[in-house]
Structure 1
Amino acid sequence: MSRAVVFDEFGGPDVMHIVEAPVVEPSKGEVRVRIEAFAVNPLDQMMRSGSSPGPVALPHARLGVEGTGVVDALGPATSGLEIGDPVILAAVPDAGSNGSYADHITLPAAQVIARPAGLAVTEAAAIWVAYSTAYGALVEKAGMRPGDHVLISAASGGVGRAAMQIARQIGAVPIALTRHSEKKDDLLAAGAAAVIATDHMDVVEAVRHCIGGRGADIALDMVMGPGQQQLLQALRPDGTLVAAGFLDPRPTPFPRSAPLTVFSYRSFEHTLDTAVVKRMAAFLNAGVRLGALRPAIDKVFTLDTVVEAHRRLEKGLHAGKIVVTV
């Protein structure tokens, strides 16, 4: 048997509990991974609370869209992997029924990638969702180039920190947005070329001051809601905004800022595309090897204390990813 975290009703962290579940044997083309650690993501919180953008079937719903571990079993006709290989989960699109908050997960072999050498288990657990989202939004979708000035909202979160590192690896200039001015020094240390604290600064004026009077080339919106209008106004006339998050539950006004380009981005449009995943994995491996890409870990919990991990996420005071070891 295998342990798994489930919830039977929507609500706060206390609705989660651990149950014994059968260990699923991999079918043709599948792999079973023994999970060593997983990260806690905002989407997990949304699914658990009932505010997820997608449906969650109750009871006995599962959680977890990323994690790392070692190959535990191979299904028939599964090639390219060996038992004992350390891997990262590259896609868990059915997290509500087969999430990574567990001892084991069985999934198609195409949905795992080799774990980059040099990453600790906790770092490997926290790297894929944030970095693949930031890479997909900025590189694949927005076409970020060297020299671009990139405005990043929710910059202290996992995707925001990843976006700053990826921008720097490519040669772009990351400008971090945060609601709290006390996070300025931390964000500068994390790679921001400049930090705009919205509790004391006007976003549009501050961006133009940073860039010599003109707007940013790209904005990565991890929040949405009414605040998106400020990001649009802070862009140059033919700039690009990529909406990749949904932290603000309030309605987002329809953009009316032509000729700006506005994209809506969800990571599964790329993490289920094997060609793009190969590019992401190659970029990630290169960045880790060069020391340019490294996830920030906030705090590490154990599976038995997963409720506390979610409580910390809800407080919103974490700096980096919250990780749970199994």
Structure 2
Amino acid sequence: MTRVIRFYEHGGPDVLRIENIELSPPAQGEVQIRVKALGLNRAEALLRAGKYIETPTLPSGLGLEAAGIVEATGEGVVGFAQGDAISAVPPLSMVRWPTYGERINFPAEFVVKHPASLDWATAAAVWMPYLTAYGALINIAGLGKGEHVVVTAASSSVGLAAIQIANSIGAIPIAVTRTSAKRDALLEQGAAHVVVSGEEDLAARLSAIAGPEGARVVLDPVGGSIFEPLTAAMAREGILIEYGGLSNEPTPFPLFTALSKSLTLRGYLVHEITGNPARLEAAKRFILDGLASGALKPVIARTFEFDQIVEAHRYLESNEQLGKVVVRV
């Protein structure tokens, strides 16, 4: 028997339950992992609340990231052996392959032998933020040296990963945060500039920083009312990459700004990277090289125990954290 976390109805963190189940042996192409740590993501809170792009059959498991030790391999698996220290790349479906458990079966194609220098918590905090940021900034936007990039929700794990990736290639990250409480921390984390959207004129500040040409690249998971000032400060033929929808406000389409500047406003999911083997391999090389050099270093906001999963989800949704929320197993 092994303990897993599931929910039987949609709702807040309190719907999460810890249960004992019988785990089957790994199927063909899968590895069985003794989980040591979980990285939590907003997507899991959305699935739990019934607001995610997947609609689970209840009861459902959840979870996209984990790190641990290989316990067994299924038929056809090569390159992994019992005892290997690994971390899990977010799968195409967390309903099919949830990670919230003491032991899990997981597709080998989404398992990575991470650098030995990483502890379990750090290893569990790598793949979702860095793959998301890499796919948007490098693969899609082609961000280059000397370019300004605007990063909203900058204190999130993806936001911090984007700041680090931008710095690693010589770009200039402009962090956008809602209040001034995290301004100093974001500067310490490598933001070249910090704009406080709740206390400053967002468009005016961005334009003052990026200059009259504007910022070519914007990375945003929020939407809502900041869409118009963001696009107002963008460069001609710029690209705004939207990878979430955290705002509860309607998101207005900035028609005339988009027309006058020939803007690209693009929706994006990390599945564009994880679902394409060639893109995923390129992303893994970039990220592993960055981890090895120290240019990329996951930021852990707070660590919880497995039995504290409800409290961990409450903290995840509090917006208090700077970086990744991790659960030890």
**Which TM-score applies when normalising by structure 1?**
0.96
The aligned counterpart of 2:283 is 280
Contact 1:32/1:106 (<8 A) preserved:
yes
- Structure 1 unaligned regions, length at least 5: none
Contact 2:303/2:328 (<8 A) preserved:
yes
- Matches of 2:210 and 2:143 in 1, distance apart? 17
Supply the AA of the counterpart residue of 2:73.
L
- Residues 212-253 of structure 1, C-alpha deviations (whole Å, 9 max, x = no match): 333111000111123212211110111111111221133322
What RMSD over aligned residues (CA atoms) do the two structures have, in Å? 1.3
- Matches of 2:246 and 2:318 in 1, distance apart? 14
Matches of residues 124-203 of structure 1 in structure 2 within 5 Å?
A: 124-203=123-202
Matches of residues 24-39 of structure 1 in structure 2 within 5 Å?
A: 24-39=24-39
- Matches of 1:158 and 1:302 in 2, distance apart? 19
- Structure 2 unaligned regions, length at least 5: none
Identity of aligned pairs, percent? 39
Candidates 294, 299, 302, aligned match of 1:299: 302
The aligned counterpart of 1:261 is 264
- Matches of 2:83 and 2:254 in 1, distance apart? 49
Supply the AA of the counterpart residue of 1:315.
S
Matches of residues 223-234 of structure 1 in structure 2 within 5 Å?
A: 223-234=222-233
Supply the AA of the counterpart residue of 1:179.
R
The aligned counterpart of 2:234 is 235
- Matches of 1:78 and 1:166 in 2, distance apart? 32
Deviation of 1:140 after TM superposition, in Å, equals 0.7
Q: Which moved more, 1:224-233 or 1:295-304?
A: 224-233
Q: Which SS does the other structure have where 1:98 is aligned?
A: coil
Contact 2:216/2:234 (<8 A) preserved:
yes
Deviation of 1:127 after TM superposition, in Å, equals 1.2
**Which TM-score applies when normalising by structure 2?**
0.95
- Matches of 1:133 and 1:99 in 2, distance apart? 19
Contact 1:118/1:288 (<8 A) preserved:
no
Supply the AA of the counterpart residue of 2:300.
I
Matches of residues 46-195 of structure 1 in structure 2 within 5 Å?
A: 46-58=46-58, 60-195=59-194
* Structure-2 change in CA distance of 1:213 and 1:255 (3 Å): closer
Q: Which moved more, 1:89-98 or 1:130-139?
A: 89-98
Supply the AA of the counterpart residue of 1:261.
T
4+ residue segments displaced more than 4 Å: none
Supply the AA of the counterpart residue of 2:200.
M
- Matches of 2:190 and 2:211 in 1, distance apart? 20
Deviation of 1:39 after TM superposition, in Å, equals 1.2
Contact 2:218/2:240 (<8 A) preserved:
yes
Supply the AA of the counterpart residue of 1:75.
G
Contact 2:164/2:296 (<8 A) preserved:
yes
Deviation of 1:255 after TM superposition, in Å, equals 4.4
Contact 1:61/1:97 (<8 A) preserved:
no
Deviation of 1:97 after TM superposition, in Å, equals 4.3
Q: Which moved more, 1:261-270 or 1:85-94?
A: 85-94
Q: Which moved more, 1:242-251 or 1:230-239?
A: 242-251
